[in-house]
Amino acid sequence: MARAMYDYTKSVLNKVSFDVNLFCIELKKALTRLLPHEIVELKIWLNVLIEKKPQLNQCLIYLKS
C-alpha cells in the first residue's frame, strides 16, 4: 500500500510539472503523506526531473524544511 502512494505521488507530480505553483502545492502534500524512506527516494527522482525542467528548482525549498 505504501509503495502505491509513492508511485501515485510521482504520477501526480509528473502531471502537474507544467505549472510551478501547482507542483509546489502537490510536493508539500506529498511530503506529509510519504514515509521517510520514500521521501529520500522522491528526492532522487526530483533531482532527475529538475534536470529536465529547471523551472521547478524553486520547489526544492520544501525538501529542506
Profile the chain (65 residues) by mean pLDDT over runs of 10 residues. 87 96 96 94 95 94 82
Q: State the pLDDT at residue 34.
A: 94
Q: State the pLDDT at residue 17.
A: 95
Q: Which of 8, 14, 6, 11 is nearest to 50 (CA)?
A: 14
Q: State the pLDDT at residue 61.
A: 93
The count of domains in the chain is: 1
Q: Which of 50, 19, 48, 16 is nearest to 30 (CA)?
A: 16
Structural domain of 54: 2-64
